[in-house]
């Protein structure tokens, strides 16, 4: 039997608090079954990332905070306590299946600011390369109300687009999108497939979230917009059964949101289209050829540098005659780039005093003219 997950290589799975936590305790049997699904996917050679809610739900019980909405400081305190328990639950349940969990706590700024974005991405990437499963949550203890995701649906979407994932799975207590909120509308029709998130689709989402989870259908649709625009497919399914991912793979009830483009193209569009450049790198003919054949830009091929850019900024890539070759996100600040330009990557550590990245602009962070 073919699995509906076969074609996806990098999968972000977002799990809502209501699934993970019951009466202030992790739902261990459910979590164990989910971990079986994750282990099965990794055994098929897929990369899996988990975006896990539950810190506040776990911590509020321990701190005996009252039911109902919490004040900001209370949720921060609850998250401080609950995140420890959450990380332990993941580490144990994945560990029991031979998988290593790596905890990543991010704030909105980590995904919005280019420098920090590149840092977060490279840490997660390294974890994946080392075969670990990143377990990601918002850093609720330091996030304040103005600068936070607040819901893990959108955080999941940001993580998925940041990592160029091809699938985002939202597991929660709803089984997908209906033409109207089903609780109030007995005639609401279930949608299996959403080709594009139009204003009509947005209007179908009611606003309800439950007491434990912040995100209702609206934040899921917001997440869908972020994900699909960047080329990531999104699927919403209920986590109310054991082995929810296996269920999706076998064609169980779910709403699939189709991507607008493939992630690489969307990312390149983002690099080439929407960013202001902060400077330029002039490269030699050999490097131009290397770039055109799909390679990264190494310091050795860089002849001259212009501008006061910082690591993570977009710069213009110029050929030997000053012609525009493309754009990319540079891996070094201008003064460092200056020092290693024209040098072999193996010398970087000796020159700068630390082992920086081998490439001045990584292939994935580059969009060439006409690409």
Of the two residues 148 and 311, which places its CB atom closer to ligand GLU in the complex? 148
Q: Which stretch binds ligand GLU (CB under 6 A): 36-44, 50-58, 200-208, 236-244?
A: 50-58
DSSP per-residue codes, 333-363: -HHHHHHHTTS-GGGHHHHHSS---S-SB-G
Among the residues of the chain, which ranges form H helices?
Answer: 17-20, 28-43, 55-62, 72-95, 108-112, 114-129, 152-162, 199-204, 217-229, 244-249, 263-274, 285-292, 334-340, 348-352
Q: How far is CA 308 from CA 71, 137, 276, 359, in A?
A: 43, 34, 13, 19
Instruction: Kindly state the smallest distance separating residue 17's Cβ from ligand GLU, in Å.
Output: 5
| DSSP label at residue 183 | T
Phi, psi angle pair for 46, to nearest 5°:
-90, 155
Task: Based on the shown chain and the rule CB under 6 A, indicate whether residue 148 belongs to the binding site for ligand GLU.
Answer: no
List the one residue out of 51, 59, 52, 67 whose CA is nearest residue 85.
59
**Chain-centre distance for alpha carbon 244:** 20
Of the two residues 143 and 317, which places its CB atom closer to ligand GLU in the complex? 143
> Which residues, 163 to 192, sit near ligand GLU by CB under 6 A?
none
How long a stretch of residues is the chain? Answer: 371
Instruction: Kindly state the smallest distance separating residue 34's Cβ from ligand GLU, in Å.
Output: 16
Instruction: Kindly state the smallest distance separating residue 107's Cβ from ligand GLU, in Å.
Output: 11
Candidates 37, 110, 138, 175; binder of ligand GLU (CB under 6 A) is: 138
Candidates 37, 110, 140, 166; binder of ligand GLU (CB under 6 A) is: 140
The answer to whether the beta carbons of residues 260 and 231 sit under 8 Å apart is yes
Of the two residues 57 and 230, which places its CB atom closer to ligand GLU in the complex? 57
Burial class (CB in 10 A: 0-12, 13-18, 19+), 24: middle
Instruction: Kindly state the smallest distance separating residue 80's Cβ from ligand GLU, in Å.
Output: 11
Candidates 77, 99, 106, 151; binder of ligand GLU (CB under 6 A) is: 151
| DSSP label at residue 138 | E
Candidates 17, 111, 232, 296; binder of ligand GLU (CB under 6 A) is: 17
| DSSP label at residue 4 | T
The answer to whether the beta carbons of residues 29 and 243 sit under 8 Å apart is no
> Which residues, 53 to 72, sit near ligand GLU by CB under 6 A?
53-57
List the one residue out of 308, 306, 311, 288 whose CA is nearest residue 298.
288
Q: Which stretch binds ligand GLU (CB under 6 A): 91-99, 211-219, 290-298, 333-341?
A: 211-219
Of the two residues 138 and 166, which places its CB atom closer to ligand GLU in the complex? 138
Candidates 10, 42, 107, 152; binder of ligand GLU (CB under 6 A) is: 152
Q: Which stretch binds ligand GLU (CB under 6 A): 49-57, 103-111, 186-194, 344-352?
A: 49-57
Task: Based on the shown chain and the rule CB under 6 A, indicate whether residue 215 belongs to the binding site for ligand GLU.
Answer: yes
Window 266-295: contact mask with ligand GLU (x via CB under 6 A):
------------------------------
Instruction: Kindly state the smallest distance separating residue 83's Cβ from ligand GLU, in Å.
Output: 7
Number of residues that bind ligand GLU (CB under 6 A): 15
| DSSP label at residue 97 | T
List the one residue out of 304, 307, 299 whose CA is nearest residue 361.
299
Task: Based on the shown chain and the rule CB under 6 A, indicate whether residue 217 belongs to the binding site for ligand GLU.
Answer: no
Of the two residues 57 and 298, which places its CB atom closer to ligand GLU in the complex? 57
Q: Which residues make up the interface to ligand GLU (CB under 6 A)?
A: 17, 53-57, 79, 137-138, 140, 151-152, 213-215
């Amino acid at each position: 039997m073919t699995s509906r997950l076969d074609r996806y290589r990098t999968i972000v799975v977002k799990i809502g608090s209501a699934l993970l936590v019951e009466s202030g305790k992790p739902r261990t049997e459910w979590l164990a079954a989910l971990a079986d699904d994750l282990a099965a996917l990794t055994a098929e050679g897929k990369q899996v990332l988990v975006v896990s809610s539950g810190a506040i739900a776990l911590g509020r019980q321990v701190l005996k905070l009252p039911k109902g909405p919490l004040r900001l400081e209370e949720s921060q305190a609850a998250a401080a306590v609950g995140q420890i328990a959450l990380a332990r639950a993941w580490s144990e349940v994945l560990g029991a299946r031979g998988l290593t969990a790596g905890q990543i706590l991010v704030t909105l700024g980590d995904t919005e600011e280019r420098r920090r974005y590149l840092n977060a991405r490279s840490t997660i990437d390294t974890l994946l390369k080392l075969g670990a499963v990143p377990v990601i949550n918002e850093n609720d203890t330091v996030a304040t109300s103005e600068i936070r995701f607040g819901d893990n649906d959108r955080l999941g979407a940001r993580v998925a687009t940041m990592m160029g994932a091809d699938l985002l799975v939202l597991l929660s207590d709803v089984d997908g999108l209906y033409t109207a909120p089903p609780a109030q509308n007995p005639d609401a029709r279930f949608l299996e497939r959403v080709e594009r998130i139009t204003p009509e689709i947005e209007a179908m989402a009611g606003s309800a979230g439950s007491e434990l989870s912040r995100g209702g259908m609206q934040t899921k649709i917001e997440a869908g917009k972020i994900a699909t625009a960047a080329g990531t497919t999104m699927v919403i399914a209920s986590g109310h059964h054991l082995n929810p991912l296996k269920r999706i793979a076998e064609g169980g009830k779910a709403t699939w949101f189709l991507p607008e483009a493939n992630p690489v193209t969307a990312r390149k569009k983002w690099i080439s289209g929407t960013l202001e450049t902060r400077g330029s790198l002039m490269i030699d003919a050999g490097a131009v050829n290397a770039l055109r054949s799909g390679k990264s830009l190494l310091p050795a091929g860089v002849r001259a540098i212009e501008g006061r850019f910082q690591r993570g900024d977009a710069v213009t890539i110029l050929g030997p005659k000053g012609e525009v070759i493309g754009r990319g996100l540079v891996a070094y600040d201008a003064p460092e780039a200056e020092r290693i330009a024209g040098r072999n990557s193996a010398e970087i550590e000796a020159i700068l005093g630390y082992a920086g990245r081998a490439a001045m602009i990584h292939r994935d962070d580059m969009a060439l003219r006409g690409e």
